[in-house]
Structures are given as structure tokens and as C-alpha cells.
Structure 1
Amino acid sequence: MNTELLWQSLENYISLSESEKVLILSKLGTRKFKKGQFLVFAGGKSKVTNFVIEGSVMAYFTDAKGLDHIIQFAFEGWWISDLKSFITQKEAILNVQALEESTVLELSYEDLEELYSQIPQLERFFRVITQRAFVAFQERILETISQSAEERYRAFHEKFKNYETRIPQKLIASYLGVTPEFFSRMKKKMDW
């Protein structure tokens, strides 16, 4: 199991002993997903949180009209799940799907709670990354209600410039809240 990215991610915020790393490893599972395969289905339960070690994953909501709205992309070194479902252990409202062939480390809610009691600084790590994610979602909501599509795309491009070529254009359009046709026309007009 390739855990180098995981340790880098954790050690950006906390220090771990070798015995703590061994304990964390004992709680992790590894799963591989083919492109298009679901990690979580809306209506099911997000029993685990996923750390992407290879590939890319997206979370999206399907509205009553059947339109998909991309909520989050996750690449190597990022965490993803239906967070509400994972925390409450209730029905998921998001689909979480592999964009590419992907490998993830899985951590169940029960195992995470156990790790919190055995490695208290791990709770700090998840608090910090959850706070950062909340800030990012808040910024995204503000961008959506206050910026033009072009401004939102510039922000997207800046945030995902190392990953953008790995994301299908129609999914970028969905993330930005525009149609694929509008996105294509807008992108052609951009001066970069």
C-alpha cells in the first residue's frame, strides 16, 4: 500500500510516531475503482471517507430534473466522501464517482472515531482540513452568486491548473454552473 502521500498530508498539520502510523495503517483499507465506478451512491450511506492515492474522483448532486451538479473534485492527496452522510451515518445525497482509474485509502467512521481517542492530534488534523474545506465551499458559493462565468472559470483554472486537463469539459461546465455549449463558447473567447 502506497502511503507516502497520506503521511505527507497528515504531517502538514501534525506529527506522528511510527507506532501511531502503524495504528492508522491497521484501520485503512485500499480499494481500486475503474473509471466511472461509484464509491458512494446517493441514497446509500457513505460508510468510509476516501483518501485518493492515485487517479481522480468527483462528488455530485443530481437534481429533480436529472441534471448533475459537480460539488467537488479530488485528486491525489485529497479526501472525498459525502461528508454529511459520513458524519451522520445517514443517507447520502451525493454520488461519488471515479473520473479515472483510481486507488483510494478508505477509513470507516467507526475506525476514525477510535483513532481520535487513541491519537488525539488526528482529530486536530481532520478539524483543520474540514475547516479549510468549509472555507473553500464558502468561497465557491460566493463566487457563484457574485461573479460572472468568466471570473468563475479563471478562479477554477487557477485552483485546478495542474489537473484541468484530466477533467472532461462538460464536468468543468457543470462545476461552474453553465452548460457545456456556453462553456465551450466562453473558453474560446478567453484571452489566455
Structure 2
Amino acid sequence: MLDLLYQNISRYIDLSEEEFSRFASPFEYKVFKKKEMILKEGDYCSFEGFVVSGCCKVYYLNENGFEQTLYFAIEGWWITDINSLINHVPSILNIEALEDSEVLMISKKEKEHLYETMPQVEKLFRMMNQQSSVGLQRRILSLTGKTADKRYVEFLKKYPGLEQKLTQQQIASYLGITHEFLSKIRKKISLGK
């Protein structure tokens, strides 16, 4: 379980075995059952979570009450509502386990303590936030500038194999289209058009 966390952070910083042990010690291991809510809209987010196994969905309900999925967090991804966590405001996001999931969670207070006691941790999260900003920019550009067909192909590349685990409705929510339109796209692609 900690091996995956170590691999994830090693992309950004080098830690000795002892340093990694100090880094990992404040993380709390939690198991969430399929359909269990990890964060609900209106609650205050007090954590950042690292998905060890399973799949989570980060979404909000738009003004018409329809679900809009921001992203799916699969093994090795992080989950949080960064606005709620940083600004201590009620969350507008929901985070739900789509299947039984294991998550390592760290509180804001513990993360701040790591910043103070391990300067390289601040570098780690700065670099991760930069990568997250790049991902967010790409997601916005895709939603505003690409056809649904292209967004679907991007989804398949970004989340290989996840399509079999999700409902058509969940994928359509991520793509910003109806599930009926997604059916047409799938049919068109299967016919090679």
C-alpha cells in the first residue's frame, strides 16, 4: 500500500527510507465501500486523499440538478476539494467511491506540519499542484474546444480499461454529453467512421 505512495511521490522528490517513513506516518488508511460518500456537497473538506485501490468519482450537481463529473480518481490519483480545504468553505464537490476503495488520507493540519518539518514535502506538493493545474487546463481546453468524439477518445486513452467499470451515464457525465449521444459516438467509432 505504501509502495504505491512512494512510487507516486518519487516522481517529484527523493526521500530516504527514514524520510519516507516520517512523510507517510500521518496518513490514515481508510476503506470505502462501493457508493459510499467520501465527501458530500456542503461539508467542509479536511483532507487530501491518495487512492491506493479502487475508483472514486469527483463531481458536482449543476443548477439543473444534473451530475457533472470533474474526474475519476483511480489507483495512484489524489482526491480533495482544494477550494474547501484551503479556504475553509463548504464543499461544492462530492467524492464517491465507485467501487470498494482504499484511500490514504492526510489532514490539512498534518500536511502543514510536514511542510514545517520536511521542506522537501512543500516542493512535492508544489510540483503536484503544478501538474494538477496543467491537467485542469487541458480538461478545460478539451471541454471548450474539442468535439465530443475527440473527448471520448481522450477519455479512453487517459483511463485505459475504466470504460468497462463505469456506466454509460457516468462516462457521459464526464464528457459533458447525454448518454444517448455517447451511444451514437460509440456506434460511429465501432463502425470505423
TM-score by shorter chain over 0.5: yes
What are the ranges of 5 or more consecutive residues in structure 2 without an aligned counterpart? none
Separation in 1 of the partners of 2:146 and 2:103?
A: 34
Q: Does 1:120 align with 2:123?
A: no
Displacement of 1:84 in angstroms is 1.0
Q: How many residues align?
A: 191
Displacement of 1:147 in angstroms is 1.1
Displacement of 1:57 in angstroms is 0.5
Separation in 2 of the partners of 1:167 and 1:117?
A: 41
Which residue of the partner structure matches residue 33 of structure 2? 34
Separation in 1 of the partners of 2:21 and 2:145?
A: 47
What does 1:10-159 align with in structure 2 at a 5 Å threshold? 10-159=9-158
Which residue of the partner structure matches residue 181 of structure 1? 180
TM-score (norm 1): 0.95
Separation in 2 of the partners of 1:117 and 1:17?
A: 18
Separation in 2 of the partners of 1:52 and 1:132?
A: 17
Read off the aligned partner of 2:158 and give its amino acid letter: K
Displacement of 1:166 in angstroms is 2.1
SS at structure 2 position matched to 1:92: coil
Separation in 2 of the partners of 1:46 and 1:131?
A: 21
Separation in 2 of the partners of 1:141 and 1:171?
A: 18
Separation in 1 of the partners of 2:167 and 2:183?
A: 12
TM-score (norm 2): 0.94
What are the ranges of 5 or more consecutive residues in structure 1 without an aligned counterpart? none
Separation in 2 of the partners of 1:89 and 1:116?
A: 19
Q: CA RMSD in A?
A: 1.3
Read off the aligned partner of 1:142 and give its amino acid letter: L
Q: Which moves more between the two structures, 171-180 or 119-128?
A: 119-128
